[in-house]
Structure 1
Amino acid sequence: MSLLRGGPLTLQPRADSGGPPHAPLPDPPPVPVRQGPPPGLAVTLIGPPARAEVVGEVDRTTREAWRAALAALASAEADVHLHLTGLSFIDVRGAWLMTDMAGTLPPGKRIFLHRPPRILRTVLTLIGSDPLPVVVESP
């Protein structure tokens, strides 16, 4: 019977149980346990009205702090510069909040992302930040 013709396939146990020996599978390596406090988010104002350094992670646990920091930066009514070298993770919602803030900037003002992680550049491409005044600087 050929499988290429679409016929039925029947599996039957072997008549002799002397098939190849089965070696036990090794245990998977242990998952390292994170020591210390859970990751957080630090947004530090570092200069003229709308410059900040971002360190840590933006996720559901830090989203409100991220939203508040973005609102404070947007209220300066100037170009916003985010230095993102220390940003280790940002979820899609965090990226969306940033593009949403960019849409509230005064006409002619932009948000500059300095040294963003690759994942953020990818997410911005996927969610479509092109019509917004977001300038992404390559590392």
Structure 2
Amino acid sequence: MTDAWPTEIRLHKDRRTLSVAFDDGVAYDLPAEYLRVESPSAEVQGHSPADRQLVPGKREVRISEVIPVGHYAVRLVFDDSHSTGIFTWDTFAQLGREQDERWKRYLQELAAKNLSRDAAGTTRHH
């Protein structure tokens, strides 16, 4: 647990990045795809580490809504209809701090299971 308190949570116009700035001066730009595949929801995380779900095909996902939950969290609604993840301030801080290692692990897990970041039937756009 940290005592970090967000001073700004801003969804970029393209809805692909959520910027979170904290009162200790640290700020993170968190991609929608990363937030979706690391969602703290039971649907993704399961009820134990062994139940954790690998979520492929989310390269194009966007954040539709950022809904406040009390004074401690927000619920993110994604355009693939996923909306059960409650992101606390500590969760954002942890996802920001661990972004590089978590993303690397995610890509390794996809490769190991021969899965793609692209949705089935879509092509990558550059």
Taking structure 2 as the reference length, the TM-score comes to 0.26
Taking structure 1 as the reference length, the TM-score comes to 0.24
